[in-house]
Amino acid sequence: MLIFLLRRLIQACFVMIIISVISFAIQDKLGDPVQQMVGMSVSTEERNQLRNELGLNDGFFSQYWRFAKGAIHGDLGTSYYYKEPALDVIFKKLPATLELAFCAILVVILVATPCGVLAAIKPKHIVSRLLMIMSSIGLSVPIFIIAIFMVYIFSIELNVAPSFGRGHTTELFGLWESGIFTKDGLKHLLLPTFTLAIALMPIFVRLIRAEMMEVLQSEYIRFAWSKGLSASRIYFVHALKNTMLPVITVGGIQAGTLVAYTILTETIFQWPGMGFLFMDAVSRVDTPLISAYLIVVGGMFVITNTVVDLIYGLVNPTVRLASHGL
């Protein structure tokens, strides 16, 4: 396991270097940040002076080398708009995004697992057929359509949940602001959480169903039936455990996709998280903030994939992570 972690650490360093180069290279394609920072009345000479002060007139390699040296020390630049270190701005918004992602994943686990198991146990039942039809529709509908539908039905027509903002939050341990522990915060969390969950749920329902049906045909399941074990123990202990291996792999990939989904979800619901911050930074051509966001998200991808590999090995001890060079 130590060898595996060392290899993943080396791989992570290479991945982060590539991400940093790509995120830094696209800055020139986003527009001129000076134009967004100053008014139309500012002369060309003053604009050029500001560009020189910001180092924007330097060559690409000079700018990247300066950026890389700062990044090693945890400095990813200063936001042009907020006038604060880009990492500090992102970390202020990170709790809101993590809270939203955690609640969405929790809903997916609690709903998709029993639905997938039910669809596998009784594939010809009317409920199973309805689940497959709904999952097919869910895979076909873009997330912004789901979000708009949720706002129209539950906020405009039924008026049971607010359609924007985070609501009232409480501070935890002086480090984390959360709306989970307040009634108003939970009401604001409902629509974006279920929007993300509905977008992710269909693929997990179908995957659990397919893997579960295959596992139920295996010899050890037949042996378990012959021993007289209860149906619930066979389904939810023996069969479901072996079904989880590919689900964990796909779940790790979908966790990264969840970050992309939060950009649209947070924008539609005006949720003050990292996704909404990123869209705001793009509109203002706040290139240090954009680069820092891409690097932070890339780091989250790397960490998530490493954790998924570790969990995979714990679920199935026969998997030798280090021997396979993962």
Confidence of residue 325 (pLDDT cuts 50, 70, 90): very low
State the chain's mean pLDDT as an integer: 81
What is the percent of the chain with per-residue pLDDT over 70, rounded to a whole number?
Answer: 88
Task: Report domain extents, the chain.
Answer: 94-273
pLDDT digits (tens, 9 = 90+) for 232-271: 888 877 788 778 777 777 777 777 677 767 888 898 998 8
What pLDDT is stored for residue 28 in this prediction? 67
Confidence of residue 1 (pLDDT cuts 50, 70, 90): low
How many Cβ atoms are within 10 Å of 205's Cβ, its own excluded?
A: 27
Residue 280 has pLDDT above 70, yes or no: yes
Q: At residue 274, what is the residue type?
A: M
Give bridge partners of residue 311 from the DSSP assignment.
none
Residue 10 has pLDDT above 80, yes or no: yes
Lowest mean pLDDT among 44-48, 111-115, 147-151: 44-48
CA 267 to chain centroid: 15
Confidence of residue 322 (pLDDT cuts 50, 70, 90): very low
Q: What pTM, to 2 d.p., does this model score?
A: 0.79
DSSP 136-192: HHHHHS-HHHHHHHHIIIIIIIS--S-SSS----EEETTTEEESTTSHHHHHHHHHH
Domain 94-273 has CATH 1.10.3720.10: yes
pLDDT digits (tens, 9 = 90+) for 51-110: 777 777 777 788 888 888 888 888 888 888 888 888 999 988 888 888 888 888 889 889
pLDDT digits (tens, 9 = 90+) for 174-192: 677 787 888 888 888 999 9
How many Cβ atoms are within 10 Å of 293's Cβ, its own excluded?
A: 25
